[in-house]
Structure 1
Amino acid sequence: MLKILWHRLLVSIPLIILVSAITYLLQALVPGDPARTLLGVNASQEQYEQLRVAMNLDAPFLTRYGDYLGGLLHGDLGDSIFTSIPVATSVLQRLPVTLALMVGTVVLAATIGIVFGVISATRGQRISKAVDALSMVGFSLPNFWLGLVLVSILAISLPLFPATGYTRFGDSPSAWLLCLILPWAALALHGLASIAKVTRDSMKTTLDMDYIRTLRAAGVKRSSIVWRHALKNAGIPILTMTGLTMIHCLSGTVLIENVFALPGLGTLAVGAINNHDTPVTQGVVLTFTVIVVIINLIVDMAYTVLNPKVRLS
């Protein structure tokens, strides 16, 4: 297992560098100029040119990226162009919000999705059709639109939850939970539908296997067959979809955080892109990339736990 871990980590290093290069290039191609944004439209051309030199924006693209990459290899993500705050500090301050949103969403989607999927695989066609309908709805509704609908109904018409804002867990656990329920619900629907559908299909295949018939003939309880034996053996597709759901949540947080005004990495990224703050944009994208790498690594390790016969190359 340690060999697999080191192999995955070594493969991830070129990926992170490639992502940083693509992000830096795309940011450079975005219309606008951070120097002009800082000075405003009333600044003179001389002031503008001086600020560009001071910010090293007059240097060639490859030179600027080389300087950034050199700092990155030494663990320096740079400073924000607009606030002069170290990017690492900004990322670490906002990371807990995004992680809370992601983890809560995946726990909600996986728990309900697996239960729905198992029940639909064992209880007949009506529930199975309901899962298909749920999947269609989950795939078709944008999470940001669903978030706006939930705010309109459950935060404005029925003031049960706060519409926007965030409370830290350390300040008030109950307020922290209340401010995340609507974002979790808005973000979880797509993943819930996907996990339920995959669970149902995988469980149906597993329940038709010979060893399940042997367990039934031996008088093993139905609940034990379904939840202990069949679900474990059907777990690899479910685990794969859960990992994909978490990665999907990562991109969804950008929209959901802006809908609910949550101070996470998504809102930080949007503000940085609007202001052409390249160091902050790079820092957020690299953080997202590292999170994706970690998720894939956890899923790979979990494969060997569910089925020791699985050997990852």
Structure 2
Amino acid sequence: MILFALRRLGSGLVLLVVICAIAYTLLFFNGSSIARNIVGDQATPEQVALKEQELGLDQPLAVRFLTWAGDALAGDLGRSWFGTLTVADALTTRLPVTLALVTVSMVLVTVLATVLGTAAAVKRGWVDRAVQIGAVVGDAVPGFVLAIVLATLFAVRLPVFPAVSSITPGAGADAWVASLTLPVIAIVLNYVTASAQQIRSAVIAQRDRDFVRTLRSRGLGEGEILFKHVLRGAAPAGLTVLSLQFVGLLGGAVIIERIFAIPGIGQLAVDATVNGDIPIVMGVVLYTVGIVILVNLAVDLANGWLNPKVRTS
């Protein structure tokens, strides 16, 4: 198990380096001068050249990336090129908001999808049809449409929740709950039935296997078979789907954050990319990819524990 974890961790670190290198390279091919954006359109060519020298933009691209990577490895992600705020401070205030939004949403999706998917596989009938119809509707209707509808109904017409996030540094739990309730509901409604359908399929496949029929022939009850054997066998498929949704939601949270004016890393990344604020963008990339790697590692370890064959694959 330890070797399995080390292999997965090693491949994740390689992936982190590759993605950071690609992202850093692409950021310098947007066709605009970052130094000109910083000093303004009225600056002279000499001032632009001086700013490029100050930021190291006159160095070869490979040298710039290695310098950034070395500083990042030492724990220094630098400062914003458009202000005095450090990258670490910017991420410290923004990252917890996005993680709270994504984590709470995915926990609720996991619980509800497991219950609905299992009920659809066992009970069939109207529950099964409702899950399948909901999965089609969830795939067809974008999440931001649900978010706009919820914001219109419960923040504008019925001002039950704030239309704009009130999360600020030092804000209390009431501000977090009020600001994240509608975004979380929008995400859960968009994701839960699709996840439930995948879990339903995995549970049905497990219930049709020979070992389940053998357990029934030995007199084991349906409840014991379901909770001790079927769900364990269906768990890897469910975990894989949920981890993919977590990764997709982490990257796509920017739309939800813009609708509800949530101060997360999504909006921070968009603003930094438009301005060409390379230190901020690379900080977001580094932290986001690191979180994805940790989530995938946790899922791989869980799958390896549930199914020993995965460890040798």
What's the TM-score, normalizing by structure 2? Answer: 0.91
**What does the per-residue CA deviation read over 1:256-308, in whole Å, with 9 as the maximum and x for residues that have no partner?**
22222111111110111111001110110111111111011000111133234
Task: Give the aligned residue type for 2:160.
Answer: L
The CA RMSD over aligned residues, in Å, is: 2.1
1:210 equivalent in structure 2: 210
1:229 equivalent in structure 2: 229
- Quote the Cα distance in structure 2 between the aligned partners of 1:208 and 1:118: 14
Paired residues of 2:93 and 2:169 also in contact (CA < 8 A) = no
Judged with a 3 Å threshold, the aligned counterparts in structure 2 of structure 1 residues 311 and 38 are, in CA distance, closer, same or farther, namely closer
SS at match of 1:102: helix
Paired residues of 1:243 and 1:296 also in contact (CA < 8 A) = yes
- Quote the Cα distance in structure 2 between the aligned partners of 1:85 and 1:129: 52
- Quote the Cα distance in structure 2 between the aligned partners of 1:216 and 1:14: 47
- Quote the Cα distance in structure 2 between the aligned partners of 1:213 and 1:166: 55
For this pair of structures, how many residues does the alignment match? 313
1:96 equivalent in structure 2: 96
2:141 equivalent in structure 1: 141
Measure how far apart 1:42 and its partner are.
2.5
Judged with a 3 Å threshold, the aligned counterparts in structure 2 of structure 1 residues 147 and 312 are, in CA distance, closer, same or farther, namely farther
- Quote the Cα distance in structure 2 between the aligned partners of 1:302 and 1:46: 57
SS at match of 1:29: coil
Structure 1 residues 75-84 or 96-105, which shifts more? 75-84
1:283 equivalent in structure 2: 283
1:149-164 mapped onto 2 (5 Å cutoff): 149-164=149-164
Structure 1 residues 205-214 or 98-107, which shifts more? 205-214
Task: Give the aligned residue type for 1:95.
Answer: L
- Quote the Cα distance in structure 1 between the aligned partners of 2:229 and 2:73: 47
2:80 equivalent in structure 1: 80
Paired residues of 1:117 and 1:131 also in contact (CA < 8 A) = yes
Measure how far apart 1:227 and its partner are.
3.4
Judged with a 3 Å threshold, the aligned counterparts in structure 2 of structure 1 residues 309 and 22 are, in CA distance, closer, same or farther, namely closer
**What does the per-residue CA deviation read over 1:109-158, in whole Å, with 9 as the maximum and x for residues that have no partner?**
11111111111112223322221211111112222222122111121112
Measure how far apart 1:217 and its partner are.
4.7
- Quote the Cα distance in structure 2 between the aligned partners of 1:193 and 1:293: 26
SS at match of 1:84: coil
**What does the per-residue CA deviation read over 1:138-189, in whole Å, with 9 as the maximum and x for residues that have no partner?**
1122222221221111211121212221436974323312211111122233
Structure 1 residues 21-30 or 249-258, which shifts more? 249-258
SS at match of 2:167: coil
Paired residues of 1:143 and 1:252 also in contact (CA < 8 A) = no
Report whether the alignment pairs 1:124 with 2:124: yes
Paired residues of 1:139 and 1:193 also in contact (CA < 8 A) = no
Measure how far apart 1:104 and its partner are.
0.7
Show structure 2 runs of 5+ residues with no match.
Answer: none
- Quote the Cα distance in structure 2 between the aligned partners of 1:294 and 1:2: 15
Task: Give the aligned residue type for 2:56.
Answer: N
Task: Give the aligned residue type for 2:151.
Answer: V
Judged with a 3 Å threshold, the aligned counterparts in structure 2 of structure 1 residues 71 and 126 are, in CA distance, closer, same or farther, namely same
Structure 1 residues 276-285 or 113-122, which shifts more? 113-122
Paired residues of 1:300 and 1:312 also in contact (CA < 8 A) = no
1:114 equivalent in structure 2: 114
Paired residues of 2:167 and 2:263 also in contact (CA < 8 A) = no
Task: Give the aligned residue type for 1:209.
Answer: R
1:35 equivalent in structure 2: 35
1:48 equivalent in structure 2: 48
Percent same amino acid among aligned pairs?
37
Judged with a 3 Å threshold, the aligned counterparts in structure 2 of structure 1 residues 138 and 41 are, in CA distance, closer, same or farther, namely same
- Quote the Cα distance in structure 2 between the aligned partners of 1:91 and 1:7: 29
Measure how far apart 1:234 and its partner are.
1.4
Report whether the alignment pairs 1:199 with 2:199: yes
